[in-house]
Structure 1
Amino acid sequence: MRGSSFGYLLREGAKNIYANRLMSFASIGTLVACMLLIGGSLLFSMNINRAVGYVEQQNEVEVELDDGLSDEQIKEVDKEITLIDNVYERKFVSKDALMEELKAQSDDLAALLDGLEEDNPLYDSYRLKVKDLSRLSSTVMKLESLEGVSAVRAPDMVGEIMTNVKRAVSSAGYFIVAILLVVSLVIMGNTIKVTVFNRRKEINIMKYVGATDAFIRLPFFVEGFLLGLVSALISFGLLWVGYNYILDVIAQNPSTWMTQVYSNIIPFDEIAAQMLAWFLGGGVFIGVFGSMFFVNKYLKV
């Protein structure tokens, strides 16, 4: 295809948007709304996953060792713990160190434990952190089966709640994205359908004089591409402004709880490049795929 023909087809695609500006405006508005909802769902899911990760890091599994283990036996238990792949951090706490910790918690405990240093009734232990809370139960079972371990205390309820929240958010996010993608494609298809109908006589004449299918389809390709691109850029800008506004509101709240929430929210600057790539890719895909699919369906060439 010559450069002049290609330029003509690009101009035709842009002219189609202006000629059907009301429908194009409605398409862009709908696509922007859908992409904002998709982007909001993605951001919410990403922040929930970070929050779950933060909770995972804060929760410890305490492994109580049998009383009277030798140093060699404790080293053997340590070696066995390192072989459990869901454990990413471990700390040995001797019974003497545990007593000092308890004494430091309150004066009452200190008075109660005072004088027991020589005959310490506490226990040596390991404090562990796990990578994945959804595998907490199986990790606890492995720890309980180790020789030299008398008891394992783990936040089972927290692990189950966090796992269910993570699963529910992921499932809801996928469902919302799928529904909005279908809606976006239908809206884009209706826009192209109106354009095809308005230009049906011109298309018939072009076919009679020998125009190829690709030559006729390209303006609709350009139209879908531009609509998707403009929608993506507008959505990205609005999402950035809205997200930062919400962060500013949270940052100005004096409550300790809100301060803790703010400290674990993902800054938009950190994911801006990734979000822009998703928006551009999604917008262009919706525009191009929607236009080509419905052109092939409604354009009899």
Structure 2
Amino acid sequence: MKIRTMRYFVAEACQSFWRNSFMSVASIITVALSLFILGIFMTIVANLDHFAENLESQVEISIYLKDGLTTDQVMSVGKRLKALDDVNEITFTNKDEAMAKLKDRMKDQPGILSALDGKNPLPSSYEVTFTRPEAVKRTAAIVAEYPEVESTHYGQEIIEQLFQITTVIRWGGIALVVFLTLATLFIISNTIRLTVFARRKEIGIMKYVGATNWFIRWPFLLEGLILGFIGGIIADIALFQFYEVVVEAIHRSLAFLPLVSMYPFIYHMSALLLIISMIIGAIGSTISLKRYMKV
């Protein structure tokens, strides 16, 4: 495409924007509101996914060792655990440390501790965390076969339910974002269609004098990009302010709740929304223009 032709298209898009300022403003407001709502739901989905990852990262196996093992046997178990796939971190707790933790937890109920009569029935143990939570069940089955191991525990039923919940969160979030994106495209294309409808006679005249489809389409395409860009910027500013307020409020009242950090998450989300808004603006213009090209 020649530079002069491109300049003409840009000039036509800008002139159309100003000539139809009322409809342009209506389109921008629609784009901004639609993208802001989409951005809120994308932010919610991202935080739900982050929450699911946080839960999965806390999944661990407790491996209880048999009594009477030598130091070499205990260290041998640790070495074999480290060599397993997807193992992230291993923590060893001996019998005395386990008893000290129990006493700290049960300090308000001394009667239970006195019933032990000074004996320590607690075993030494390893706690193992993983890089992939899916490895928990497989690793537990392998470790249970070690001759030095008395038993393993990882809350089997709870973990399986957790994986089901996180799977639903992820796929449900993806489905929701796709649905809202399509709904946003539908709303914006119908709003832009009003702008195109107001210029249907102009389009018909251009077709009759021999203008090609792309010659007619380009100014509308660029206008859609401009509308999408401005609407996207407004949506980004609103989303930035919204997420900042929400993060501060949650940190004050629910500090334990894991949220995605403000930065650089909000920058990535803003850039994504801006790209989506421009694409939707261009696609919306193309869809709206299609029926009036048949002259």
Determine the structure 1 residue equivalent to 2:256.
260
- Which segment is superposed worse, 236-245 or 124-133? 124-133
Q: Is the 8 A contact 1:95 1:122 kept in 2?
A: yes
Determine the structure 2 residue equivalent to 1:279.
273
Q: Is the 8 A contact 1:133 1:159 kept in 2?
A: no
The amino acid across from 2:178 in the alignment is: A
Give the percent of matched residue pairs that are identical in Structure 1 and Structure 2: 30
The amino acid across from 1:270 in the alignment is: P
Counterpart Cα distance in 2 of 1:197 and 1:259: 52
Q: 1:139 to 1:294 in 2, by over 3 A?
A: farther
Q: 1:298 to 1:111 in 2, by over 3 A?
A: same
Counterpart Cα distance in 1 of 2:292 and 2:182: 18
Once the two structures are superposed, residues 121-161 of structure 1 have per-residue CA deviations (whole angstroms, 9 ceiling, x without a partner) of 43221111233445533332233233322211113344234
The amino acid across from 1:211 in the alignment is: A
Determine the structure 1 residue equivalent to 2:49.
49
Offset at residue 235 of structure 1 (A): 1.0
Q: Is the 8 A contact 2:33 2:235 kept in 1?
A: yes
Offset at residue 88 of structure 1 (A): 0.9
Offset at residue 170 of structure 1 (A): 1.9
Q: Is the 8 A contact 2:213 2:293 kept in 1?
A: no
Count of residues in Structure 1 that have an aligned counterpart in Structure 2: 292
Counterpart Cα distance in 2 of 1:173 and 1:55: 17
Structure 2 SS opposite 1:142: helix
Q: Is the 8 A contact 2:196 2:288 kept in 1?
A: no
Whether 1:288 and 2:282 are equivalent positions in the alignment is yes
Counterpart Cα distance in 2 of 1:114 and 1:104: 17
The amino acid across from 1:42 in the alignment is: M
Counterpart Cα distance in 2 of 1:189 and 1:105: 62
CA RMSD after TM alignment: 2.8
Q: How does 1:54-69 map to 2 (within 5 A)?
A: 54-69=54-69
Q: 1:208 to 1:121 in 2, by over 3 A?
A: closer
Determine the structure 1 residue equivalent to 2:240.
240
Counterpart Cα distance in 2 of 1:147 and 1:281: 58
Determine the structure 1 residue equivalent to 2:153.
153
Offset at residue 110 of structure 1 (A): 5.7
Determine the structure 2 residue equivalent to 1:88.
88
Question: Could you list the runs of 5+ residues in structure 1 that have no partner in the other structure?
Answer: none
Q: 1:187 to 1:61 in 2, by over 3 A?
A: same
Determine the structure 1 residue equivalent to 2:164.
164
- Which segment is superposed worse, 240-249 or 136-145? 136-145
Q: Is the 8 A contact 1:65 1:123 kept in 2?
A: yes
Whether 1:103 and 2:99 are equivalent positions in the alignment is no
Q: Is the 8 A contact 1:136 1:156 kept in 2?
A: no
Q: How does 1:59-208 map to 2 (within 5 A)?
A: 59-107=59-107, 108=110, 111-112=114-115, 115-116=118-119, 120-208=120-208
- Which segment is superposed worse, 71-80 or 215-224? 71-80
Offset at residue 168 of structure 1 (A): 2.4
Structure 2 SS opposite 1:69: coil
Offset at residue 299 of structure 1 (A): 1.6
Counterpart Cα distance in 1 of 2:59 and 2:146: 21
Offset at residue 70 of structure 1 (A): 3.2
Whether 1:225 and 2:225 are equivalent positions in the alignment is yes
Counterpart Cα distance in 1 of 2:94 and 2:271: 51
Structure 1 SS opposite 2:88: strand
Counterpart Cα distance in 1 of 2:35 and 2:192: 19
Once the two structures are superposed, residues 255-284 of structure 1 have per-residue CA deviations (whole angstroms, 9 ceiling, x without a partner) of xxx2222xx222323312211220111111
Counterpart Cα distance in 2 of 1:105 and 1:199: 76
- Which segment is superposed worse, 205-214 or 56-65? 205-214
Q: Is the 8 A contact 1:86 1:135 kept in 2?
A: yes
Q: Is the 8 A contact 1:38 1:176 kept in 2?
A: no
Offset at residue 87 of structure 1 (A): 2.5
Structure 2 SS opposite 1:63: strand
TM-score (structure 1 length as normaliser):
0.83
Q: 1:38 to 1:85 in 2, by over 3 A?
A: farther
Offset at residue 226 of structure 1 (A): 1.0
List structure 1 segments (4+ residues) > 6 angstroms apart after TM superposition.
none
Offset at residue 210 of structure 1 (A): 4.1
Q: Is the 8 A contact 1:77 1:147 kept in 2?
A: no
